[in-house]
Chains A and B, each alone.
Chain A
């Protein structure tokens, strides 16, 4: 209990004293996770829509793969990306390993299936009669999709939030492909792991409060966005 209070005090002190390293780490965490979830959203929603609305050969197999991907262990994603980016690997000449870009890659890999899968299931639940109605009113394909996107807004925001939760909580892959390099790839989760192994539990606890506040603020805004105008 003492440690908990101590950690909270430390967190507040860190923020007030304006320790530049903490800000740098927090800022990088924010940049990396938001980039990852943005990329996942931009790629994942269109794919989810297509998977949800159309029927084609191999669609079911694709869905199985997406659903497995939802549970892809981050360390597995990390290991794959590490081997891909190694100097001896296929993308070795780009020297991307141990850079924030590599962390974003790993985080996209673990969050993309979540966004695709949840978007797809939202679109599959759309009433067939509504689809027919929209079409009979002469909507273009673009109009149809944008109308349906509005209709499924709540589920899609939930998909983005679930993806974001995965991304900000991720540590295994970030450690492997990022390397926890001070001033370059050290993010909140990897610094927590490091501080624990150093035995600085108070610092680790303080960082955990900062991480949770960050997650809270972002999820708060996403939830507001999701629930907005619900009464109308």
Chain B
């Protein structure tokens, strides 16, 4: 009997612990819910699902911007889901997200034309660069981007591709297409199917070339033994847009919060923060303000 008691008592203890934990957390939300009406006279805190690319999260930009936005919009709770641009857009098309912050202009126009996204605004840009081993075995340093891609293909250099339908991957495929090359034919071409950070690490291990956005590269610079080889080409501009999911097509969308977020992203105050972001840590801005 004694053992049984011990077992029951300990189970009960765990259960009570859980209950207290749960009630703590509900108290927490209640406080949050109660505190907010006093300031805004709105009873409910609504979730806003933001799907975005890994680059905005991994660079740390959203950790600065989201608290600012939530401070402004007291009754909005932003849920940031950082995925590849392909998935981010797809979630918009399915109405699973409220607002999108992405960087694949051609694919974005498609979902605006299909009526899934509205109110699309340009926010900022940074640029893509080609990085590779400092020894540069394929000899592409300083070349134009298309010529560099051709050279990499001709020399069958190790090229590490995202392969995940992200904005960067779409950009890379666009460049290959413009020079009419199917890169997968090459033995040196590999797809990781992972985020930019992981792909850079794999490229560094394999001493391969990779097309990356500058922000992620700068954030990873100390970890990866790769140098910038090609930069500054007009073709390499990486433009970010924000847009809200059309509430007329998807009725569960939080359109109020989404519209507020779009406005927030292009507001002067936010643009200033974007401009300053990263200067302290990296000596240069990671993103450049670029509204219409």
Contacts and interface: CB of A to CB of B under 8 A. Distances in A.
Given A150-B4, A198-B58, A87 B79 contact: no
Interface in B245-288: 250, 252
A88 B96 contact: yes
Interface string A216-229: 00000000010011
Chain B interface SS verdict (over half): helix
Contact of B95 (A31, A88, A95, A180): A88
B4 A98 contact: no
Contacts of A149: 4, 7
Interface string A145-163: 0100110010000000000
Interface in A41-98: 41, 86-88, 92-93, 95, 97-98
Interface in B177-224: 194-198, 200-201, 219-220, 222-224
A199 B10 contact: no
B23 to A, nearest CB: 12
A179 B88 CA distance: 12
A42 to B, nearest CB: 9
Given A87-B96, A197-B195, A98 B223 contact: no
Contacts of B82: 180
A181 B83 CA distance: 12
A35 B201 CA distance: 36
Contact of B21 (A31, A93, A181, A184): A31
A86 B81 CA distance: 14
Interface residues of B, number: 42
A214 interface: no
B80 interface: yes
11 contacts: A31-B25, A34-B18, A35-B22, A86-B94, A87-B94, A97-B96, A98-B47, A149-B4, A197-B58, A197-B195, A199-B219
Interface of A: 31, 34-35, 38, 41, 86-88, 92-93, 95, 97-98, 146, 149-150, 153, 179-182, 184, 194, 196-199, 201, 225, 228-229
Interface of B: 2-4, 6-7, 10-11, 14-15, 17-18, 21-22, 25, 47, 49, 54, 57-58, 63, 66, 79-82, 94-96, 194-198, 200-201, 219-220, 222-224, 250, 252
